[in-house]
Structure 1
Amino acid sequence: MNATLHTTGGRSVLRFERRLAHPVEKVWRAVTDPAEMAHWFPAIVEMDPRPGGRIRYTYPAGEAAPEEGRIIELDPPRVFALTWNGDALRMELTPDGTGTRLVFTHTFTDRPMAGSFATGWETCLGALDKTLAGPVEGSLIAPERYAERHDAYVARFGLGEGTLRADDGTIRFERLLPHPVEQVWPALTRTEKGEPAVGGPPPLPATNAYVPAGDLTAVRDEQLLEYTWLRDGAPAGRVRWELTGGHPAGTRVVLTQTGPADEPATALAAWHTHLEVLADHLRGVTHCPWPKDRTEELAARYAGRAEAR
């Protein structure tokens, strides 16, 4: 599946293009008939089939509350565009010999979700293909190797990149990990010395050798871990891990390092590698020793970007 991600008007646009071996009229029914959509779309759809018509989305498994959207464009059998969860979906069909060329786009503002969206729509569009081959019963959406595919999209789309704020040197990463917070928190805080506590040392999995760690300054179970980092043995700033769970897609992690680093490219590379190591660990892949070559590669990349600016 040839997924791409770009930015238009400040919003992210995820795009899939696929040739389906079925005529346009058949594909049109599959993407606009609620009974057909039930086999491949991630919600049960009820709609008023006209431009501006309301759409109601429900989730039988209870993974989300019912939602409403609207039909943005309805041009049979060419374009079907709608809003879903505040985002815009567009399906454009073009005859391609005896088959159909489908261009599917999802426009959204929450860029860290791009890996989750891409993995989900890849699964859904695969189910659409099976629906067209029919007959089928029930939903065909059954993601396989979800975390592995999600993390591959994170790498492909550059979603693991960190930022450096020019005014105060703050380093920041925001990344979705496709695992519940009940798994992410222990992976970040595991230690033989018991639960992390303010005034004590931070758990080893939350630190790395490139940013010397001081004492813990804040801990909230499954939500927050913060500690000082040191320069010449004295506090120079803080490292803060913030976790937000409770979402079907996984756990959102926001990692910041405040206080200007002596070598910001190296610090960026270290935390970038750290998040990759954490993501791999959650998928059962262990890195021992630390992937030093990867950190050096990333440090050169971040330094090159700084020079280019």
Structure 2
Amino acid sequence: MIATIQKQHNHYIVKFSRSLPHPTETVWAALTENDKLQKWMSNLEIIHLQKNGKIHFNMNDGTATFLEIQITDYVKKEVLEFDWGNDTVRFELSPTDNGSVLLLAESIGELTAHTPKDLAGWHICLDLLSDLLNGTIHEEYPMEEWEKQFTAYKKLVAEVEKI
């Protein structure tokens, strides 16, 4: 399902929601344990899992270069929020009768030409996470599917910019 974008006073909130037929403990492990995390978001590596802790965004280009990201909010098995450049990414996990709901909310200061690329990337990563939880690991990033999502998010961002 495509994300929603809402304009706030001085920023935008993008929300992705996924109903998952897995308990919160299983989803939380996929979000926070590096051996699972890197199967759906290969650039991220948890260094210190706590509020004011650190995540590395690895460039994965053979140089061992990374950006250090600060964890800005953390509640075990419920909330993981971190800086994303000038923006913020927040994962919220809630139990349901049939598993759990994962909400990814990104607070974006300014919509740019790069925004639809990032949103398509998050969309694909959430699909990869869902597949991982269902027992499927992708060896390669699905660029063809990313291109479809990029087209959809370009249209969505253009619509929001008209408001």
TM-score, reference length from structure 1: 0.47
1:134 is matched by which residue type in structure 2?
Answer: G
Shift of 1:82: 1.2
* Structure 2: stretches of 5+ with no match in the other structure: none
Q: Deviations over 1:106-145 (max 9, x none)?
A: 1222402331122111100000011112264x75632324
Change in CA separation of 1:96 and 1:39 when aligned onto 2, cut-off 3 Å: same
Shift >4 Å, 4+ stretches: 159-162
Q: Deviations over 1:78-102 (max 9, x none)?
A: 1111113332111111111131111
* Structure 1: stretches of 5+ with no match in the other structure: 163-304
The whole-number CA distance in structure 2 between the counterparts of 1:16 and 1:82 is 16
For the 8 Å contact 1:120–1:143, the answer to whether it is kept is: no
Change in CA separation of 1:161 and 1:54 when aligned onto 2, cut-off 3 Å: closer
1:84 is matched by which residue type in structure 2?
Answer: W
For the 8 Å contact 1:81–1:89, the answer to whether it is kept is: yes
The whole-number CA distance in structure 1 between the counterparts of 2:77 and 2:13 is 23
Q: Please name the residue that 2:150 is paired with.
A: 150
Is 2:111 the partner of 1:116?
no
Choose between structure 1 and 2 for higher RCO, CA contacts under 8 A separated by at least 6 residues.
2
For the 8 Å contact 1:124–1:141, the answer to whether it is kept is: no
Aligned residues: 162
The whole-number CA distance in structure 1 between the counterparts of 2:132 and 2:161 is 37
TM-score, reference length from structure 2: 0.85
Q: Please name the residue that 1:125 is paired with.
A: 126
Identity of matched residues, %? 24
The whole-number CA distance in structure 1 between the counterparts of 2:19 and 2:93 is 10
Larger CA Rg, structure 1 vs 2: 1
Is 2:102 the partner of 1:102?
yes
The whole-number CA distance in structure 2 between the counterparts of 1:140 and 1:24 is 27
SS in 2 for 1:60: coil
Change in CA separation of 1:140 and 1:21 when aligned onto 2, cut-off 3 Å: farther
1:130 is matched by which residue type in structure 2?
Answer: D
